[in-house]
Structures are given as C-alpha cells and as structure tokens.
Structure 1
Amino acid sequence: MKIATYNVNGINGRLPVLLQWLKEAKPDVVCLQELKAPQERFPVKEINEAGYQAIWKGQKSWNGVAILAKDLEIVEVQNSLPGDPEDLQSRYIEAIINQIVICCIYLPNGNPYPGSKFDYKLSWIKRFKRRTNQLIKMELPAILIGDFNIIPTEEDVYKPERWENDALFRTEVKKAYHDLLKKGWLDSIRTLYPDEKIYTFWDYLYKAYERNAGIRLDHILLSPYLIPDLKSGGVDKEVRGWDKTSDHAPVWIELKDKLDKT
C-alpha cells in the first residue's frame, strides 16, 4: 500500500498539478494539507473522477486537511484535534483505512517567534502528543502524516544557522518531534535515507528550488506495529518543478500488503 502526504498550498488553484501527480504516482492513500478552501468548495467531483474517495475539513482562505483513498473504504474518526473545543482551525483529520489509523496533520507554523502564534503552536503540539500517546498505548497500527512545520535536525535544512530563531527550528519544537520518536514512532523517510540531504519544501523566492536550498517539513511517522511493514519511500521532488505548483513536494512510503507478510 502506497501512502503519501502533500501540502497542496491551495487545492483549487493547484488542482491540475494534484490531478497530474495522482495519475502518475498512483498512491492508494493521500493526506492533503493547506486546502485554503471552505468545506463547500472542496473539488470532490474532480477527485472522485480521478478515482478517489475523500473526507475533508475545509476553512475559508486558510488551513484545511483531507484524506483521499483509492479502492479503499475511509471511516472518519474525528476532524479536529481533541483538547480545545474553542480551536476552530482546520488542522487535523483522522480516519481508519485498511485497518490503519491515519492521522493527517497540518501543524501550526508558529511564526513570528516569539509571540501568540508560537504559543498556539506549542499548545497544539501538547494536545497532539496526548493523542499520539493514546495510539501508542492502544498498540494500534497508526500513521502520523502531514506537514509538521518542524525541521527535526540540522541535516534537514539548508544553512541551519539562518533558522535559529524561526518557529520551525526552535529547540522546543525539535524536542517535541524527538519526544515522539522516543515514544516509539518511526521517522520513515529518515530511516530509509539516514545520510542523505532530503528536503520537502523550497521557497518560491531566490531560486530556492533550483539551488536545492530547502527544508524537510513533511513527515510520515509509523507506530511500532507498522515498522516491520515499511518497504520503501521517497520525495517526488520533480513535482516542485512543475508549472504553478505548490512550494512543497509530495512525500510517500510503501507498506507491505497483508499478502506480502510471512
């Protein structure tokens, strides 16, 4: 089963790019972030015509998350992160697909640091960790997937010295990410490519993509139950070079199918 994440940076404006990538990459499950569309403007007709079912949580102008699946049933669990009923930002949607819990996230950016946006980011992370701890305790096959807005290490950023006071690279958020790993979650892409420079985001400015001056923000974390099933993975970097594309590239992994297991 091929599972991917893609921050589309505006699903309606980038819809031709998304549909082209879906046709070429053929993922079974896709988590999308930054839809930038209200609930009623999600392009469900076009997504269905591409062969995918979808659940989504939109938000006018900002945020927005969705999960797509091809030939697989989607059972929605929840479409907001528990713990703060006053938080109306669309950043979390959770479903069960093929007996796997899929947690699609668009973690807050947090800039500028310091400030209220960074405080919100830390508060959101605390709530998120509570949910991830529940999944670990229940020993469920689960995946944390999406735009984490966290650069985990210096190896994940071009010229890390320039990011010291950025909310994506602050000590507090890096620690939170590594706390997840200590609890048993596996950073699938870094595990597959332990020594390589791998980025998933390149700014539109200063020819960042052409210079490969990127950062790694989009992650796929596996619960201990799924770690033995990891087969392969990567970043579809070339999609970032397409016309009118997102500033993120799709990230994907492949898991062993049940018939593959011995």
Structure 2
Amino acid sequence: MKIATFNINNVNKRLPNLRAWLMSARPDVVCLQELKCTDAEFPSGAIEDSGYHAVWKGQKTWNGVAILSRVGAPVLTRTALPGDAADTEARYIEAAVQGVLIGCLYLPNGNPQPGPKFDHKLRWFKRLHQHAGKLLREKVPAVLAGDYNVAPTEIDIYPTKSWDDDALVQPESRAAYARLVKQGWTDALRETHPGERVYTFWHYMRHRFERDAGLRLDHLLLSPELADRLSSAGVDRAVRGAPNASDHAPVWIELRAPGGGRKRR
C-alpha cells in the first residue's frame, strides 16, 4: 500500500497539479491538508474522475483536510481531534482504508510566538498526544500523516538563522513532536533516510525552492503494527517545481502486505 500526504495549499486552485500527480504517482491513499474550501466547494467530482473516493472536512481560510483512496471508499471514523468540543477548526479527519486507520492532520502553525496562537499549537499537540496514545494502547494499525508544522531537528531545516523566531523550530514545538514519536511511533521518512537533509516545504520567497532552502514539515508516523511493513519512503520533490505549485511537495511511504519482514530503502 502506498500512502501519501500532501499540503495542497488550496485544492481548487491546485486541482490540475493534484490530478497530474495522482495520475503519475498512483498512491493508494492520500491525505490532503489546507484545502481552503468549504465542504460544498470540495471538488469531489474531479477527484472521483481521477479514480479516488474521498472523505473531507472543509473550511475557508487556511484549514480543511481530506482523505482520498483508490482501493475502496474510506470508512470515516472522525472529523475532529478529540479533547476540545469547542474546537471548530477543520484540522483532523480519520478513516479506515483496507484495515489501516489513517489520521490526516494539519497542526496549527503557531505564529507569531510567543502568544495565543503558539499556546493553541501546544494545546493541540497535547490533544494529539492523548489520541495517539490511545491508538497505541489499542494496538491499532495506524498512520498519522500530515503537515505537523514542525521541523523536528536542525537537520530538518536548511542552514540558516532567519527562522530562529518562528514557531516551526521552537524548542517547545520540537519537544512536543519528540514526545509524540517517543510514545512508540516511527517517523517513516527519517527512518528510511537517517542523517539526510530531506525537505518537504520550500517558501515561495527568495527562490528558496531553486536554492533547496527547505524544511521538513510533513510527516507520516507509523504505529508499531505497521512499522515492520515499511519498505520505502520519499518526497516527490519535482511536484513543487511545477507551475502554480503548492509550497509543499507530496511525501509518501510504501507498506508491504502483512507478514513480510522489514526492508528499508
């Protein structure tokens, strides 16, 4: 099974880019973030024409998440992260596909920091810890995929001091991500590319894509029930260089069928 995550940065504006990538990469399951559309505006017809079923939770401005599948319709289990009934932001959706629970998330950016938005980011992280821990205790074969808005370590951002005050690289953000992984999750891209500078996001400003001045913000975390099935992971970097591209590139993993041994690449 090939599972991908892609911050599409406006699904209707980037729809031709998305459909071209779906056709060439042929992922089985895709998590999309930053739809920037309401539920009614989601391009479900075009997605279906591309061969994918979809579930989604839309919202104008910066939010909105969706799960696409070409291996059977996703069975929707959640449209919000538990822990705060007053939270109306469309940042989490969860569905079962072919025996795997897919959690698609768009974690708050947190800027400017310090301040209320950064506090909200850390509270959201705490709720994610609680839900992720429950999935582990229940031994669910799960993937938590999406834009975490955290560059976990210094190797996950190009050498620079220009981001030092940004919420994406603050010690509190990095510690929250590290605590999540230490629950027992496997960071699939880092597992398969240890010690490498692998980026998933390049800002539109100052030719940062052309200079490869990027950050690794998009992650797929695997529960122990899936970690042994991980065979490969990567970034479709060329998608970021296309006209009218999102500022993120798709990140993907491949899982072998149950019962195989681990083979990393």
Pairwise TM-score range, normalised by the shorter structure = over 0.9
| Separation in 2, partners of 1:60, 1:227 | 35
TM-score if structure 2 supplies the norm length?
0.96
Letter in 2 for 1:49: D
Q: Within 5 Å, which residues of 2 pair with 1:213-224?
A: 213-224=213-224
Q: Deviations over 1:126-180 (max 9, x none)?
A: 1111000000111111111000001100000012533232111111110111111
113-122 vs 27-36, which moves further: 113-122
Work out the CA distance in 2 between the residues paired with 1:251 and 1:65: 16
After the TM superposition, which residues 12-161 of structure 1 pair with which residues of structure 2 at under 5 Å, given as runs? 12-161=12-161
8 Å Cα contact 2:228/2:261 also seen in 1: no
1:243 aligns with 2:248: no
More helix by percentage: 1
- CA deviation digits over 1:226-257, x for unaligned, max 9? 11100111000000000001000000000002
1:163 aligns with 2:163: yes
List structure 1 runs of 4+ shifted beyond 6 angstroms. Answer: none
For 2:174, the equivalent position in structure 1 comes to 174
| CA positional deviation for 1:260 | 5.3
Mapped contact 1:154–1:160 kept (Cα < 8 A) = no
AA aligned to 1:43 is P
8 A Cα contact 1:38 1:61, kept in partner: no
Shift of 1:210: 0.3
Note the alpha carbon deviations across 1:81-139, whole angstroms, 9 max, x for none. Answer: 11111111100001111111111000000000011110110111111110000001111
For 2:117, give the aligned amino acid.
Answer: K
CA RMSD of aligned residues (A): 1.3
1:29 deviates by 0.1
Give the AA of the match of 2:153: T
SS at match of 1:159: coil
Q: Secondary structure at the match of 1:73?
A: coil
C-alpha deviation, 1:259, in angstroms: 7.6
- Please tell me the residue identity of whatever aligns with 1:6: F
Query: Aligned residues, how many?
Result: 262
